[in-house]
Amino acid sequence: MIKGLLALDENLASSIALRYAARLVTMLPLQLQAGHVEIPDEKQYVKGTGWVRRTWEQGVMDAGRQAIQRLLNTEKVGCPFIGVPKVFVGDRDDELLEELGTGGYDLFLEGNLNTSNINDFYKLVSSSLYAKSPCPVMVVKNLVAGKRVALLCGDGVDHEALIPRTLTLLNGNGFDFDLLFYRYQENGGPVIMGKEEAGSVLFAAEELLRAENRRAMSSQVVCGTPEGVADMLKKYMVVASSFPLRRSPRLELLAHCPSPVLFCK
C-alpha cells in the first residue's frame, strides 16, 4: 500500500489536485492523508507557551479545518482519506516536512498552477520542502485523463534510479509507459528522432522496464525548445523525472509542462 500526503488549501490548485488524487486512488493502492498548514498573520501571532497561546493556536487550527472542509464539501469527490485532515500552524515547508518525516509517507502531492515562470519554478523545486522531502513529490498542474506516463530522461537524469522508483509508485496495471530523451534545440522543433540518437540510454531504460515486467510503448529522442516540447507532454497523465539540481533546459521543460510532474530522487 502506498501512503500519500495531499497538501490542500482553499484554492483552485488544491481543487484540481484533489480531483486528480481521486482519480489516482482508482488506479493505485493509494491511501491519502489530507494536510493543511495555516500560516498566521504576523500581526496576530501570539508568542509564548501559556493558555493564551494555546487558545490562539486552537482558533487558527479550527479556521484551517473549516477551510479544508469547505473545499471537500464543494468538490464532493469520492476520494477516501486515512482520517480527518491534519491541520498545522506555522511555516508551511517546515510543518509539511515534519509530517512527511514522521508519517512514513511514500508520496507527497500538491497543486500548483503557476509554474511556467522559470524563476518561480526553480524556487519551488529548490525549496526546503522539495529538496529535503524524504519521498517523491508530485506537482499537479492540470486534471489530465488517460493512463500514459512519460519517463523523461536526458540532461542529467539517472534513468537507473528513475525507472524503478517510478514503478514502485505507479505500479498499477492501468499505466502505459513512454521513454523520452530530451535534447535541447534553440530553434525549431519539436523534432522526433530514433532512440539510437540517445546512445545507449534508451536501450538500457527499456531493459530496466523489462526487468519489471513492463515495456515501453514508445522510446524516442525529442529535440526542441522547452516550450515546444512541453506542448507534446500534455497528453500524459504523469511526466516522471528526477529533481533538476540546477537551472537547465530540462527544468524549463518541466516548468512549461502542462501535465502533473512526478519528481523522483
- State the Cα–Cα distance between residues 238 and 216, nearest whole angstrom: 15
| Residue-averaged pLDDT of the chain | 90
pLDDT in tens, 204-228: 999 999 999 999 999 999 999 999 9
- Banded model confidence at residue 80, pLDDT cuts 50, 70, 90: confident
Residue 141 has a pLDDT of: 95
- Percentage of the chain beyond pLDDT 90 is 71
- Percentage of the chain beyond pLDDT 70 is 92
pTM for this prediction: 0.91
**Average pLDDT estimate for 48-60:** 64
CATH topology of domain 1-111: Rossmann fold (3.40.50)
pLDDT in tens, 125-135: 999 999 999 99
CATH topology of domain 144-265: Rossmann fold (3.40.50)
Residue 43 has a pLDDT of: 52
Residue 103 has a pLDDT of: 96
**Average pLDDT estimate for 33-52:** 70
Cis before 190 (ω within 30): yes
Residue 265 has a pLDDT of: 83
